[in-house]
């Protein structure tokens, strides 16, 4: 496994902060407040992308990290739009660096798999960026396990490797446990999953009539608006109340407790909204509570689906 650290050599924090809301639902002041709260809370790993809020996310984050850059692990992504060709990667990455006023980043992800571009083209480009010192580590987001392994073989042939994967993962989205997590453990790949709150569903706010991604975004509604998921969220809220914590804290702490030691990405629209997720940094999850929470949802079948042999 690649030893992921900040430039100063510090290990990465157990949680990652995602800046998808910077310059969107969170204005400049609220973004700064969230960054300050996250950094003060021990988070040193910050995640953005070329496509987030039409570039505002990268611009705002770039300014915020300057004073502590050596102690910050900075990740961005390219290739969500227009494919993962050499030309697109170089164009998007160059724009991203200008927005952030950074010569180099610590981690560059391919934002999603591109069926139309040979992996050799994509990963030769990433390997060159790495050899030039413009990126330290290579990641992939939203890849299936077979896609990661195909890409890993190409990367190894070029003298490099995939260091990080970024899949979706929460109590109501556990498909990553089937093949991605075992693959990551085998390959020594760090897992940095997104959406540990299930688009806000696991905070319990929708049961209280509040609004959010499920009510505002058709993609999130399609992803999370299922009866069993709402039922799981309700049970999680009841359990959280019984032990005196928020459902969000439990949801994030649960996602971080898996045996592959994920570094979940937390995010919010405001510092107040962020705090319950941030509290997961210091929450003590034990095996019994982890099992109790796991039982609230649906555990996916193993890859072979030969349950009689488990």
59-71 pLDDT, tens per residue?
A: 999 999 999 999 9
At 212, is the pLDDT very low, low, confident or very high (cuts 50, 70, 90)?
confident
**CB-based contacts of 247: which residues, under 8 Å, 6+ apart?**
202, 203, 204, 233, 236, 237, 240, 276
Give the number of residues written for the chain.
310
Cα–Cα separations (whole angstroms), residue 267 to 54, 146, 276:
18, 29, 11
CA pseudo-torsion sign 127, 132, 136, 140: negative
Residue 310 has pLDDT above 70, yes or no: no
Please give the mean pLDDT across all residues of the chain. Answer: 96
173, β-bridge pairs: 170
307 and 299 Cβ atoms separated by less than 8 Å: no
Across the beta sheet with 16-18, the strand order is 190-191, 164-166, 135-141, 105-110, 73-78, 45-47, 16-18, 265-266
Q: Which domains does the chain have, with CATH numbers?
A: 1-166 (3.20.20.100)
Q: Per-residue pLDDT averaged across 138-147, rounded? A: 98
Residue 308 has pLDDT above 90, yes or no: no
Q: Per-residue pLDDT averaged across 216-244, rounded? A: 93
pTM check: above 0.85:
yes
Cα–Cα separations (whole angstroms), residue 286 to 108, 293, 305:
33, 11, 28
CA pseudo-torsion sign 94, 99, 104, 106: negative
Radius of gyration over every alpha carbon of the chain, rounded to an integer in angstroms: 19
CA angle 17, 23, 25 (to 5 degrees): 80
């Amino acid at each position: 496994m690649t030893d992921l650290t900040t430039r100063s050599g510090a290990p990465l924090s157990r949680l990652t902060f995602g800046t998808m809301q910077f310059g969107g639902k969170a204005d400049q002041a609220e973004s700064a407040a969230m960054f300050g709260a996250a950094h003060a809370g021990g988070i040193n790993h910050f995640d953005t992308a070329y496509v987030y809020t039409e570039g505002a996310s990268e611009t705002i984050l770039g300014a915020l990290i300057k004073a502590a850059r050596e102690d910050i692990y900075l990740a961005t992504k390219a290739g969500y739009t227009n494919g993962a060709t050499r030309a697109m990667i170089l164009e998007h990455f160059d724009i991203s660096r200008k927005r952030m006023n950074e010569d180099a980043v610590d981690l560059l992800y391919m934002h999603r798999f591109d069926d139309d571009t040979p992996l050799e083209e994509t990963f030769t480009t990433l390997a060159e960026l790495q050899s030039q010192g413009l990126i330290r580590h290579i990641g992939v987001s939203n890849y299936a396990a077979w896609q990661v392994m195909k890409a890993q073989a190409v990367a190894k042939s070029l003298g490099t490797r995939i260091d990080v994967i970024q899949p979706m993962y929460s109590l109501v989205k556990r498909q990553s446990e089937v093949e991605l997590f075992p693959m990551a453990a085998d390959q020594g790949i760090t897992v940095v999953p997104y959406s540990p709150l299930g688009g806000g569903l696991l905070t319990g706010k929708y049961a209280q009539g509040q609004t959010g991604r499920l009510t505002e975004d058709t993609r999130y509604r399609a992803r999370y608006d299922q009866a069993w998921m709402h039922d799981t969220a309700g049970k999680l809220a009841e359990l959280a109340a019984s032990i005196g914590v928020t459902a969000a804290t439990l949801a994030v702490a649960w996602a971080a407790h898996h045996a592959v030691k994920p570094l979940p990405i937390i995010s919010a629209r405001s510092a107040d909204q962020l705090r319950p997720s941030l509290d997961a940094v210091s929450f003590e999850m034990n095996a019994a509570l982890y099992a109790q929470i796991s039982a609230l949802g649906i555990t996916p079948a193993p890859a072979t689906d030969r349950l009689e042999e488990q």
